[in-house]
Amino acid sequence: MAETIKTKVLIIGAGTGGYVAGIRCGQLGLDVVLVDGGDGLGGTCLNVGCIPSKAIIHAASKFETVAKAAAGGTLGITASKPAIDMAQTTAWKDGIVRKLNAGVAGLLKKAKVKVINGWATFSDAKTCIVKTADGDITITAEHVILATGSEPVELPFLPFGGDVISSTEALSLDKVPGKLVVVGGGYIGLELGIAFRKLGAEVAIVEMADRLLPLYDKALTDPVQKWLEKHGVELHLGAKAGSFEKGQLNITTRDGAALKLKADKVLVTVGRRPRTKGWGLENMGVAMAGPFVKIDDRCAASMKNVWAVGDLTGEPMLAHKGSAQGEIVAEIIAGHDKRFDPVTIAAVCFTEPEIVSAGLTPLDVEGRDDVITAVFPLMAIGRALALEAGDDGGFVRVLASKTDHRLLGVQAVGQHVSELANSFAQMLEMGAVLEDVAGTIHVHPTMGEAFHEASLRALGHAIHI
């Protein structure tokens, strides 16, 4: 039965950008409808991305710890040889996702957001038809927030299906593949490739660039590459993947040689693209910036009262960026004077070891003589040694202006450094100088002491090195 709804705010997409925008709109007393036609409440991040991948990564690390104990002992602990029931691990991960789904649903209900499950198609900038299980609903709105997110890029010669999988399928496997070939050496491929190596799979990585994680400088990625080499992960850098036939992936090496890699599963992680097809974006009259919706510093699209947030708006495609944009757009619609102009959006790779980057990197300041760079190794931090996190080449690095000591960037590589990301971003957002970090008494023993010591070293007087 056809139904018509008029609302102040219509949000398309229930990912971290869309649902946060919905909650904030509700808190501000706005009438809001949220249409969820994708992965479910929480979007890619909660259902098939950030959260489930970190659950699998955590399980893999636990398994690796027991495996070490069984292979001669670790920290004086010995154990019998472990086994993994991947179906049970996946079920545990699914339980976490369900719990968070229910949490998001409760928050939206509390904020009086009307949630409609269905696929929306726009006929013009402010009108869409949502196909639901109970029939079509026509929605017109004064404001539209587009938060449709992104989807994995599919290679034409390696279409998804069967044993060629995306990260979505990789997070729902019921058994550990004997041989896994990962196509793409970015953060998604490496996070999952490392996790499955810890779980016992033989892993090979095929990357077109000459090194892994090419967006990061070599000093940050070297500890990751050393872990991969130490743990028998086969690396094919500067190589191109081809077709997958009869359990073998064809690749062309850097030298032009043809190779066949045996694979039970081929995980294709060559990037993500904005989800712009199939919901009538072309009928909305908004300007584009390449494959993305073009927005200004208020997240406004070119059509009046149309807004866009999250992966749809361009790099970096990070959940926390979408959430921040969603909150700001809700406040703008409610009449607040807001801009999306962050000093930095920190990024984390949950590899082994982890990588954090916030602000400018050495690649950004190459050739400049007005920048101080200082590095402090984690091996000189007591907490790192106590966590077995000091012997993998990890460090914290600060970049600051020579003239006024203003922090320009902070990076780290090492076990557990992901938890330092917010401290890095906070100091940069507040416009801190080296003396601010140096003058903050850091708790001992913690990993964060490395940030303190790196800043002291930049000032010429580190204590513990």
| Positions marked catalytic | 444
Secondary structure of residue 106 in the 3-state scheme: helix
- Nearest to 8, CA basis, from 145, 111, 128: 145
Residue 249 identity: L
Host H or E run for residue 52: helix 50-70
CA distance 86 to 92: 10
For residues 96 and 23, what is the distance between their CA atoms, to the nearest angstrom?
21
Burial of 177 (0-12, 13-18, 19+ CB in 10 A): buried
Tokens of 7: 């609302």
Burial class from Cβ neighbours inside 10 Å (0-12, 13-18, 19+) for residue 314 reads: middle
CA distance 465 to 454: 10
Give the torsion sign (CA, 93, 347, 429, 447): positive
Tokens 């513990």 locate to: 464
Q: Is 303 helix (H, G, I), strand (E, B) or coil?
A: coil
Asked if residues 233 and 119 have their Cβ atoms less than 8 Å apart, the reply is: no
Q: What is the torsional sign of CA 134, 138, 142, 148?
A: positive
User: What is the phi/psi pair of residue 352, to 5°?
Assistant: -120, 105
Tokens of 443: 């708790």
User: Concatenated DSSP letters for 406-437?
Assistant: BEEEEEEEETTGGGGHHHHHHHHHTT-BHHHH
Total Cβ atoms within 10 A of residue 379: 17
> In sequence order, what are the residues at sequence separation of 6 or more whose Cβ sits closer than 8 angstroms to the Cβ of residue 268?
152, 153, 154, 155, 158, 160, 164, 165, 166, 183, 184
Residues 6 or more apart whose Cβ sits within 8 Å of residue 312? 13, 146, 147, 148, 149, 150, 274, 275, 276, 292, 293
